[in-house]
Amino acid sequence: MTRSLDALTRTTGYDDLPGLMSLMTGDEKHSPAATSTLDVLWVLYDRVLRVSPDTVDDPSRDRFYLSKGHGPMAYYATLAAQGFFPVSWLPAWATWDSPLGHHPDRVLVPGVEISSGSLGHGLPLALGSALGLRAQDLDSRVVVLVGDAELDEGSNQEARELAGAWGLDRLTAVVIDNRSSTWNEPGLVARRFETEGWAVTTVDGRDHAQLEATLSRRVPGRPTAVVAQLEPK
């Protein structure tokens, strides 16, 4: 049974996320890009990240960067469910006066750390933020979610090299690996990070227990990569 908007405005649970996403309609939803990130996003915001609607401006908060920003519906649904903005915003998404665009805007959407959608930008930005946190001696972390296809971008290769060389243990990269890109050789995504000195774990991208354990891990002196594998649709 489809739940009413009034009922969904009181939701806080993972099981209600598909209903929240269904409130956002239109031809430009990039639904596969969104649904592939749903479980990682929920586990991060519900169990891992030290950030809440009350701490979005706290310098010691954890930061989450959505580099895979061309399909933000799951991101919007998660933020709404966690109370960063009202659920009532969702049905108007992508209309001319809505703060919720086809790509998330950090100026308009509470809780959004970077404006994204142009693939290849998120990991370099997260690298710079992790350096800033280290310079300020803040025990916070930056988690960036990237798609396997955007690893083709040279900016990501350079960021991987620098993060490993500089031992940025405040940085975690989560790669949604549905083998939709040129990186179609099993295990190749993980090896690319391992070669640059990252601590890498490959998990089932729908298993919340595995995701929580790996996303909570920090290895002193090394950046962390979590490869969340999904079956291609």
Tens of pLDDT along 126-162?
Answer: 999 999 999 999 999 999 999 888 888 889 999 999 9
Find how far residue 6's CA is from the centre of its chain: 27
Q: Examine residue 4 and state whether it is found in any structural domain, yes or no.
A: no
Q: Examine residue 6 and state whether it is found in any structural domain, yes or no.
A: no
pLDDT at residue 1, as a whole number: 38
pLDDT at residue 112, as a whole number: 97
Note the pLDDT tens digit of each residue in 91-136: 999 999 999 999 999 999 999 999 988 788 999 999 999 999 999 9
Both tokens of residue 33? 């890009």
Among 19-23, 152-156, 201-205, the range of highest mean pLDDT: 201-205
DSSP secondary structure code for residue 230 in this structure:
-
CA dist 132 → 12, 125, 170 (Å): 33, 11, 10
**pLDDT exceeds 90 at position 32:** no
Q: Examine residue 153 and state whether it is found in any structural domain, yes or no.
A: yes
Helix (H) or strand (E) holding 229, with range, is strand 224-229
Q: What is the pTM of this model?
A: 0.92
Q: Could you tell me which of 113, 107, 26 has the C-alpha nearest to residue 73?
A: 26
Q: Examine residue 36 and state whether it is found in any structural domain, yes or no.
A: yes
| Percent of the chain surpassing pLDDT 90 | 73
Residue with tokens 């971008």: 153
Instruction: Provide the mean pLDDT of the chain.
Output: 90
Q: Could you tell me which of 198, 117, 115, 120 has the C-alpha nearest to residue 157?
A: 120
| Amino acid at residue number 116 | S
Please tell me the distance from the alpha carbon of residue 29 to that of residue 41, in angstroms, as a whole number: 17
Q: Examine residue 18 and state whether it is found in any structural domain, yes or no.
A: no
Greater model confidence, 150 or 202: 202
Q: Examine residue 95 and state whether it is found in any structural domain, yes or no.
A: no
| Amino acid at residue number 78 | T
**pLDDT exceeds 50 at position 198:** yes
Domain tally, the chain: 1
Return left, alpha or beta for 111; rule: phi > 0 is left, psi -120 to 50 is alpha, else beta. left
Q: Examine residue 12 and state whether it is found in any structural domain, yes or no.
A: no
pLDDT at residue 33, as a whole number: 76
Q: Examine residue 43 and state whether it is found in any structural domain, yes or no.
A: yes
pLDDT at residue 158, as a whole number: 94
Domain that holds residue 129: 31-71+103-229
Q: What are phi and psi of 39, to 5 degrees?
A: -70, -40
What is the rounded average pLDDT of the residues 38-49? Answer: 97
Domain containing residue 181: CATH number: 3.40.50.970
Q: Could you tell me which of 172, 177, 173, 143 has the C-alpha nearest to residue 36?
A: 177
Please tell me the distance from the alpha carbon of residue 11 to that of residue 73, in angstroms, as a whole number: 16
